[in-house]
Structure 1
Amino acid sequence: MSWRGVLTLLLLAGALVSGWSAWRQSDTTGTAAPVETRTDYLLRDFDLVALNSEGKEAFALQAPELQQTPGARTLELTEPLFHVPDKAGQRWEIRSATGWVSDDNEEVRLRGNVTADSPPEAGRPSRMETEQLNVFPNRSQATSDVLVNVAQQGSTMQGIGMRADLDTGRIELLSQVKFRNDPTSR
């Protein structure tokens, strides 16, 4: 047999062994791939109205992006704008950088540059500014554990921790409260 024949047989044997080896390894590598987690759905530039357990409006929401948290029914929001009705049907307007909504719409957590404006029709409109605000739409309440600034016509308040009743507009600062009255700005 010539050297070309021997070389051909060796190349053929090598090709068969490498093909068999690759075929055997393909069976085991397919099951070891990591599972990718994806959101169940994603909304962009949307308007949404969430209802409470009685079928009444809990809040209205606009945002550039909403996605459902993988493995849960909670929602993650980018730059949300909430409209939360009070008992008279007037609406608080609440904005933030990010937001999270519980699966039952009972709690909304807002983070980053949060502003909450009372209804313009309120007797004495107010604005709250903070970095964290938790809103409970069905109870018409809001809370914060961090620094909160509250501005009303003619006065400003600042404190750590806050509780607010959105139906009555009553805002209670919990500690380290500072108050400034400026009657000329009325």
Structure 2
Amino acid sequence: MSWRTLLGIALLVAAVATGWSAWKMRSQDAPASASGDRSDYVLRDFELVVLGKDGVESVRVQSPELRRREDESMDVEQPVFLAPAEPGPWRLTSDRGWISADGELLRLDGNVAGDADPASPTPGTFRTDSLEFLPSQDLARTDREVRLTRPGLVQTGTGMEANLKTRQYRLLSQVRTRYEPSARP
């Protein structure tokens, strides 16, 4: 046998093996994609106005990045939520945010800060680790530790419900209040 015949037989065996392998792989399913981390779209450096069912602004969102998930909920990085109130909006900020698919629930996590408009007759602030905000009800709530500050008053407690429109607060448990009278002129 010549070397050309041996080479031809070797190439024929390699071609048959390659064809058989391709035929076997054809029937296997494609690998599943990791849909949990996939985004429908991404917005960067944006401002979004969310309208309520009555067509009135319920919340305004500003952020360096928003990712819409396949389930239509949205993850927001370093969000600033502006909740309408009189005389000016509440400013809610955090490290991360999440918006439900229907826009009825906003979650803020990590260094949550709520600041009333400084022009308000009763300016106030609160700080906590996690907060849920229901824009249609003007309701902010948490079950975590909260520090609430108003002129001359500092309150801490565990759990809070606040109506941001009427500026009524309710600390739920372990409430401590400290009065800090302003200095006399």
TM-score normalized by structure 1? Answer: 0.90
Contact 2:116 2:125 in 1 (8 A): yes
Deviation at 1:185, TM superposition (A): 5.4
Match of 2:26, as an amino acid? D
Instruction: Indicate whether 1:75 and 2:40 are aligned.
Output: no
2:45 maps to what in 1?
45
TM-score normalized by structure 2? Answer: 0.91
Distance in 1 (alpha carbons) for counterparts of 2:51 and 2:173: 34
Bigger mean CA deviation after superposition, 139-148 or 11-20? 11-20
Distance in 1 (alpha carbons) for counterparts of 2:115 and 2:124: 6
Instruction: Indicate whether 1:97 and 2:95 are aligned.
Output: yes
1:57 maps to what in 2?
57
Deviation at 1:5, TM superposition (A): 4.2
List gaps (5 residues or longer) in structure 2. none
Instruction: Map residues 1-186 of structure 1 onto 2, 5 A cutoff.
Output: 2-29=1-28, 31-37=29-35, 38-70=38-70, 72-86=71-85, 88=86, 90-184=88-182
Aligned residues with identical type, % of pairs: 33
Match of 2:179, as an amino acid? N
Moved over 4 A (4+): none
Contact 1:153 1:185 in 2 (8 A): no
Distance in 2 (alpha carbons) for counterparts of 1:5 and 1:60: 77
SS in structure 1 of the partner of residue 125 of structure 2: strand
SS in structure 1 of the partner of residue 16 of structure 2: helix
List gaps (5 residues or longer) in structure 1. none
Root mean square deviation, CA, Å: 1.7
User: How many equivalent pairs are there?
Assistant: 182
Deviation at 1:9, TM superposition (A): 3.6
Distance in 1 (alpha carbons) for counterparts of 2:93 and 2:126: 11
Deviation at 1:177, TM superposition (A): 0.5
Distance in 1 (alpha carbons) for counterparts of 2:78 and 2:158: 24
